[in-house]
């Protein structure tokens, strides 16, 4: 009876997590383009959901790109998708995982800022809290980049 109960529990748990597993896929990162975009070894461009990295000539752009490259460059990552799997430029839109939640790491360290694009907003509140903590503690762009800090000041 005990074995039957345990087997039933395992089966129920597997079925409960099937949608999560079917919504995730592993990819190899070929190269990082900037602090919120990379290319997989099969040629797909991937844009991290909920983030906006400094553009090429902006303050902190190189640091943002280099940090993302250090986290995932040449590695196998797991992508989890939200409502819209691709954006208007045909890039995959994903939450990225490799030794943790990469989207959050970038925000927590202040390498990127929050950019919520509906309907992909599953972690919008969490991302906003991460950015607020980075701002409060003067991390990354929040201690070095007057142009970004000015963009987020009220009025």
Catalytic positions, written as ranges: 47, 55, 91
Instruction: State both tokens at 149.
Output: 């800090």
Q: Which helix (H) or strand (E) holds 78?
A: strand 76-80
Please provide residue 72's backbone torsions phi and psi, each rounded to the nearest 5 degrees. Answer: -130, -10
60 three-class SS = coil
From the CB of residue 19, how many other CB atoms can be counted at a distance below 10 Å?
9
State the alpha helices, DSSP H only, in the chain. 2-22, 61-72, 102-108, 124-136, 141-144, 146-152
17 prior amide bond cis, ω within 30: no
> What element of type H or E holds 29?
strand 24-34
């Amino acid at each position: 009876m005990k074995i039957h109960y345990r087997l039933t529990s395992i089966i129920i748990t597997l079925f409960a997590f099937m949608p999560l597993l079917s919504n995730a896929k592993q990819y190899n990162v070929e190269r990082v383009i900037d602090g919120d975009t990379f290319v997989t070894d099969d040629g797909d461009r991937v844009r991290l959901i909920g983030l906006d990295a400094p553009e090429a000539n902006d303050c902190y752009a190189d640091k943002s790109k280099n940090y993302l490259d250090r986290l995932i460059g040449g590695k196998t990552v797991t992508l989890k998708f939200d409502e819209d799997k691709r954006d208007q430029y045909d890039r995959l839109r994903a939450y990225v995982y490799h030794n943790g939640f990469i989207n959050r790491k970038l925000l927590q360290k202040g390498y990127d800022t929050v950019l919520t694009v509906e309907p992909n907003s599953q972690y919008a509140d969490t991302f906003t809290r991460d950015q607020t903590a980075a701002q409060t503690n003067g991390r990354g762009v929040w201690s070095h980049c007057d142009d970004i800090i000015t963009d987020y000041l009220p009025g």
